[in-house]
Amino acid sequence: MIFNSIEFLVFFCITYSLYRLLPFGWQNRMLLVASYIFYGWWDRRFLFLIILSTSFDFATGLMIGKGKLTNHQRIYPSVAVILAALVFITINWEVVILEFHPFNLSVQWQQLLPYQLSSWSIFIGSLIAVIAINFLYPRLTTLGDNIRPKICLTLSLFGNLALLGFFKYFTFLLEVSPV
């Protein structure tokens, strides 16, 4: 979806109308879902990146502000990242054929899951990252109120810049490096 298309105009009108109709707390949730839809319209495989980034930054922002997370605030981002990696990275969506009729869903099961080895390595890496972050959480809560926000902000910046650097320059480095 590009900004000068009819699809975007319809999407914008629906999003803006919903924003005006919903109460304040639901406006934020709707905007998050709308941004995921807009981002996923281009290529749904990359939804994993935005879900990873927003989940990590959500938990980091709560750690900066409150210093502690409830169990739900720890579990939901972790589960969201793992499920996003599983759904958007490892599943081969090209074999799922969706037609206009909702009951016409054709799936070739033998090709659905074994997508690519690199996809599974991203999933396993995400799983390891979620475990490592949940392992670090108790140590972050013991830090003082003056140092914890700085460390959390540094972790957030490093994580987002690492994602950007990896996905922007990794293929370039593979092409340039001698074989």
Q: Which residue has the higher pLDDT, 41 or 30?
A: 30
Instruction: Express each pLDDT in 102-159 by its tens digit.
Output: 555 555 545 555 455 566 777 777 788 888 888 888 888 888 888 988 988 998 899 8
DSSP state of 66: T
Residue with tokens 């016409």: 104
Residue 133: both structure tokens together: 């972050």
Which parts of the chain fold into alpha helices (H)? 6-21, 24-42, 47-65, 71-84, 109-112, 117-141, 148-176
Report phi then psi at 115, rounded to 5.
-75, -75
Greater confidence (26 vs 3) lies with: 26
Give me the residues paired with residue 105 across strands: 98
- Report the pLDDT value the prediction gives residue 61, as an integer from 0 to 100: 87
Q: What pLDDT score was predicted for residue 55?
A: 85
Is 26 within 8 Å of 18 (Cβ atoms)? Answer: no
Q: pTM for the complete prediction?
A: 0.70
Nearest Cα to Cα of residue 48 among 127, 112, 111, 109: 127
Nearest to 134 by CA among 84, 82, 94: 82
Q: Give mean pLDDT, residues 89-96.
A: 64
Give the model confidence (pLDDT) of 21-32 as tens digits.
999 889 999 999
Nearest to 167 by CA among 113, 89, 70: 89
